[in-house]
Structure 1
Amino acid sequence: MTNFVLVAGVWLGSWAWDDVAPELRSAGHGAHAVTLSGLAERQGVPAGQQTHVRDIVDEVERLGLRDVVLVGHSYAGIPVGQAAQRIGDRLARVVFVDSAVAADGESFLDGWPDGRAMVEGSIARSGGFWEPQPASDYAGQDLGAEQVARIVSGSTPHPGATLTEPAVLARPLGELPATYVKCLLDGPEPSPAVARLLTGGDWRLVTMDTGHWPMFSRPADLARILLAEAEAGA
C-alpha cells in the first residue's frame, strides 16, 4: 500500500485535497493531507520555511508511514523536496504538482524574481503575510465560479518567512525519484530549474491540460496521475 502525503501551496490547508484523497483511498492506498503551520486551522502558529519541512517530516514519522509518495503543489514543492531527503527509506517517490523546486541556499522568492516585488509588498503591508489573491486572479485556470469561490473563501494569509528563508538541501534534488506534473494553462513549459532536473534519469514529466490548481479543476485526473506514478515508481 502506498501512503500519499499531500501538501498544498500558499494560502491553502489540507482541505484543498478533499476531492483527491477519496480517489486515492478508494484505490486501496493511504492519503494523508497536511496543513502547514500558520495556515487554515493552524493559523496563528509561527512558521518559517524549516517549520514547514518539519511539519511534513513529523506527519510521516508520527503516523509511522512507509512507501511514502510526497506530493507538493506550488510553493509546497519547496518544503516537500527538503522533507523527501529527510525521511530516508520511507520515501518511494516525490510528485511535484506545478510547483517550485528547492535549491540549496535559495528561497521561494529567489526562484520567482518576477513576483518578488509583489509578494514582498504584500508581506510589508500585512504585517508579515502574503495576502490571498482575489477571485479575478483565478481567471483562465480551468476553474468554475463555484471552485473559485471555494478557494477564495478557504484561503488564509500565508506566513511570509516561509517564502523568504532559504532551503537547506543535503544533496542535489535531482537524485530524488520524482515526477513533475506541469499544468499547461499556467505556462506551456517547466521553469528552467525544473527543465534541468528533468535531464537526469530520476525525474519524469507529466502534463495536464488544466490550470495551476488541478486538485480543484481536475481532481479525478490528478488522482489517476498520482496512482500511476506511484505504481510506475514502485
Structure 2
Amino acid sequence: MTRPTTYVLVHGAWHDERSWDRVAPLLTARGHRVFAPSLTGHGDKAHLLGPDVGLTTHTEDVVDLILDHALNDVVLVGHSYAGMVISGAANRIPERISRLVYLDAMVPTHGENAIDVMPLTKAMIDGAADSAQPWRIPPLPELAAPLGLFGVTDSDDIAWLRGTLTDESVLCFQQPVEMDNPAQAAVPRTHILCVGNEPEGVTRRPVPALQPNGELSHVHTLDTGHDAMITRPAELAALLLENI
C-alpha cells in the first residue's frame, strides 16, 4: 500500500481555505492527509486583517501549522501569491518539506517581493493609495468571458467564489521573501501552469530549465483559468497525486 502523503494547500491572495473544497476530498479519498488553512485576514481569520499583515505573517501561518501538527514530508502547494508564502516557509523548515508545488504561482528568488515577481501588482497598490484605507487592496473584478473571475466562468461558481473573497493587505505584496537557507534549495519543485486564459498585462516568468537543486524542472499545464482548484479539481488532484 502506498504510504499516505501529507498535503498542505495554501490559497492565493483574496481567497481562503474554501478554494480547495473540491480538491481536498479527492486527496483524502485516496488515503492522504490534507490541511488547507486560511491565511491571516481570510476565511475564519478575516477579522484579523490589518495593515501589519504581510508576507511574513502568512509565512508564519504555514510554518506554525506544520510545527503545531508535527508534520513531516509535507507536499506544500501554493496557488498564485502563495508561491511567495511556500517559498518562505520552505526557507524556515526545509527539513519538513518533501516537495514544493507552485500552482500558477509567483516563483521568487531571495529578497524579491510580489512586485518584483509580477510588476502588475504595483498598479493594484497604486490604485488603493487614494482610497480611505490605502493599505487594503480589494479583489480583482470579474472580467468579460472567457476570463471571468480569476478564470472562473460558470455563473454559479462565480457567485460562490465572490462570496469567499476578502481584501488583501498591501504589505503582503511589499515584503520580500527570505530564501537564504541553503537547505531550501534542495527541496524538489513542481510547477503547474494554467494556460489559455491569461488576462492582458499579466506576464508569467518562464520556469527555469533547472531547479535550484540542479534537477530538471517539472512543469505541467492545465488548460483552464487561474483558479484551477475550482475549475479543474479532478485534473489538478491527479497532478498532485502524480507528484508525491
Q: TM-score, length-normalised on structure 1?
A: 0.89
Aligned to 1:169: 179
Q: 2:157 aligns with which of 137, 140, 147?
A: 147
Structure 2 counterpart of 1:155, one-letter code: L
Equivalent position of 1:21 in the other structure: 24
Q: Deviations over 1:111-130 (max 9, x none)?
A: 11234123331255243111
Q: Which of 59, 65, 90 is the aligned partner of 1:59?
A: 65
Q: Which has the higher helix share?
A: 1
SS at match of 1:194: coil
Structure 2 CA distance for aligned equivalents of residues 82 and 216 of structure 1: 25
User: How has the CA–CA distance of structure 1 residues 112 and 67 changed in structure 2, closer, same or farther, with 3 Å as cutoff?
Assistant: same
Counterpart residue type for residue 63 of structure 1: H
Aligned residues: 230
Match of 1:184 among 178, 182, 195: 195
Instruction: Specify the alignment match of 2:239 in structure 1.
Output: 225
The alpha-carbon distance between structure 1 residues 119 and 195, as it changes in their structure 2 partners (threshold 3 A), is farther
Report deviation, 1:61. 0.8
Corresponding position of 2:36 = 33
TM-fit CA distance, 1:169: 1.1
Aligned counterpart in structure 2 of residue 95 of structure 1, from 91, 95, 101: 101
Shift of the 123–2 alpha-carbon distance from structure 1 to 2, 3 Å rule, reads farther
CA contact (8 A) 1:174 1:202 kept: no
Aligned with 1:194 (options 183, 207, 229): 207
Q: Specify which of 6, 10, 27 is matched with residue 9 of structure 2.
A: 6
Q: Which runs of 5+ in 2 are unaligned?
A: none
The 1:116/1:127 distance shift into structure 2, 3 A limit, reads: closer
Alignment RMSD (CA, Å) = 2.4
Residues 89-120 of structure 1, C-alpha deviation per residue, up to 9 Å, x if partnerless?
A: 22111110000012222210121123412333
Please state how far the C-alpha of 1:64 moved relative to its aligned partner.
Answer: 1.1
Tell me the CA shift for residue 197 of structure 1.
5.3
* Superposed displacement of residue 153, structure 1: 1.4
Give CA-to-partner distance per residue, 1:3-62, whole Å, 9 cap, x none.
100011111111111111000000000010011111122123241111111100101111
Task: Give % identity.
Answer: 33
Q: Which amino acid aligns with 1:17?
A: W
Change (3 A) 1:123 1:73: farther
TM-score by length of 2: 0.86
Residue 71 (structure 2) pairs with residue 76 (structure 1): no
- Read off the aligned partner of 1:201 and give its amino acid letter: E
Superimposed CA distance per residue, residues 182-201 of structure 1 (whole angstroms, 9 cap, x where no aligned partner): 111244xx833533655941
Amino acid at match of 1:76: A
Instruction: Give 1:130's aligned amino acid.
Output: I
| Selected match of 2:142 from 125, 131, 135 | 135
In structure 2, what residue type is equivalent to 1:179? Answer: T
- Choose the corresponding residue for 2:217, options 180, 197, 203: 203
